[in-house]
Structure 1
Amino acid sequence: MPSRRNSARDRARRELGQNFLIDRDVARRMADLLDPSPVPVVELGAGRGAITRELARTGRPITAVELDPHWADELRGKWPRVRVIRGDMLEFRFPDAPHAVVGNLPFGITTAVTRRLLDTRCWSEAVLLVQWDVARKRAAGGNQLTAQWSPWYEFRLCGRVSARSFRPVPAVDGGVLRILRRAGPLVPFGELGRYQRFVEAVFTGRGRGLGEIVRNVTGCRVRDLPALPRDLTAEGWARLYTETT
């Protein structure tokens, strides 16, 4: 019979939405996906340290963010050269200097963390373990969030991760999503707010087909458009924005 202490800890882990990665091959693959530059790495949701272990072998400076005090203490004991921050990844203040981001994100807050990350300026790439459907949809495009950020970021799907690679085992598989900051933005960053409002207006606008939606939203007639907003590429969105605003 489990002790009362262990039961309380198990409940706390469930409340934090922690699904620990136990597959070392996946952790190694995530670390290897990073560009081989020497920039520091911020790891979100370090947990038991499966990914931390693989990041530490790269020799880069590592900052591991972990909310659970038990696991934060264990990380400090295992990897004394890793800077461990005990705190909420949604409130973590990212460095002002260039860095990369890696993380096994709690499935319940994936969108919130992704939005906050995309709104942060100094990281160059992020390798994130999220729900499979989220990773697939972000990389494929066709959704509002991806369209709103695609002029500044590229979203790439880098593999499916079986639910059996986690403990406790979640109800769905995971997916590795790599996000790269574009060297040359398709829209000036200073127009981010205006561009994102434009994308939202098109996605929520009325009309039978994209051409009619764009005409209703902007008053402009644009030819040779695909059938629906979800069919536009990143370049297509940037071009449509430029031509109609």
Structure 2
Amino acid sequence: MPVRRNSARDRARRELGQNFLIDRGAARRIADLLDPSPVPVVELGAGRGAITRELVHTGQPITAVELDPHWADQLRDECPGVRVITGDMLEFRFPRAPHVVVGNLPFGITTAMTRRLLGTPCWSEAVLLVQWDVARKRAAGGNQLTAQWSPWYEFRLCGKVSARSFRPVPAVDGGVLRILRRAGPLVPFGEHRRYQRFVEEVFTGRGRGLTEIVRNVTGCRVRGLPALPRDLTAEGWARLYLETT
């Protein structure tokens, strides 16, 4: 049985939904998922540096973002080649040059950080350790957030990380979500706000089945649609938007 620690720092970490990854094998698998191209890496929520140490072996330039000054200072001492930023990942200014992103996201801000990341340019892929159910649902599709961003990104599930791999031990397992920016967008990015409003209106629209919902929302009768909004693929959403707007 793992020993539960009750220091002020541990209590604060639990309140923020932050859990340190201590499984070196899991950290290595996460680092290995990144494209080996020699582009800079931004690591979010570096914590004690489990993933950071694996990233160092790639030889890529690394910027690690950590909110807690204690752990940020420790990272500077232990990984002198890493640029460490002490600050909130939700406020971090991402590079304007090409880069990739990796991170162990605090469970309490997973959705907020994911939304911010998806709206940020210049990164080509992100490998994120999040709650298992969140990773599974994002990759499977069928939810509004994924549908709103699927014309520009692919979401892939890359495995489960046991709750025992973290300290403090969370109540749920973690999941690794890999997000890849599409080389060829399904909808022009300049239309993303209009497209996302369209997706929201369809998801929240009234009607018995998707065909009736679309007719009520757009005034268009579209044949061959699946039963519900959650059943549409990324390509299906893009095609529906382009045909009805």
Bucket of the pairwise TM-score, normalised by the shorter protein: over 0.9
Letter in 2 for 1:43: E
User: Secondary structure at the residue paired with 1:90?
Assistant: helix
After superposition, the C-alpha distances for 1:71-119 in whole angstroms (9 at most, x for unaligned) are 0000000001100000000000000000000000000100000000000
Structure 1 Cα separation of the partners of residues 94 and 37 of structure 2: 18
What letter matches 1:235 in structure 2? E
Q: Distance in 2 between matches of 1:10 and 1:223?
A: 55
Q: Deviations over 1:114-157 (max 9, x none)?
A: 00000000100000000000000000000000000000000000
Taking every aligned residue pair, what percent have the same amino acid on both sides? 90
Residue segments in structure 2 that go unaligned for 5+ positions in a row: 1-5
Q: Which amino acid is the alignment partner of residue 41 of structure 1?
A: V
Using the size of structure 2 for normalisation, the TM-score is: 0.97
Structure 2 residue 14 is the aligned partner of structure 1 residue 14: yes
| Paired residues for 1:13-92 under 5 Å | 13-92=13-92
Aligned length: 240
Q: Aligned partners of 1:234 and 1:101: how far apart in 2?
A: 23
Partner of 2:236: 236
RMSD: 0.8
Give TM-score, length-normalised by structure 1.
0.97
Task: Give the equivalent residue in structure 2 for 1:176.
Answer: 176
CA distance in 2, matches of 1:78, 1:210: 55
Moved over 3 A (4+): none
Q: Which amino acid aligns with 2:203?
A: F
* Offset, 1:8: 2.4
**CA distance in 2 between partners of 1:13 and 1:134 (Å):** 20
Deviation at 1:196, TM superposition (A): 0.3
Does 1:214 pair with 2:214? yes
Aligned amino acid, residue 83 of structure 2:
R
**Aligned partners of 1:170 and 1:9: how far apart in 2?**
16
What is the identity, as a one-letter code, of the residue corresponding to 2:77? G
**CA distances 1:42-68 after superposition (whole Å, capped 9, x unpaired):** 000000000000000111000000000
Instruction: Look up the equivalent residue of 1:34 and give its one-letter code.
Output: L
| Contact preservation (8 Å) 2:126, 2:178 | yes
CA distance in structure 2 between the aligned counterparts of 1:110 and 1:28, rounded to whole angstroms: 22
Match of 2:35, SS state, is: coil
Report which stretch shifted further, 233-242 or 7-16: 7-16
Q: Aligned runs of 1:75-114 on 2, under 5 Å?
A: 75-114=75-114
Structure 1: 5+ residue stretches without partners: 1-5
Contact 2:36 2:58 in 1 (8 A): no
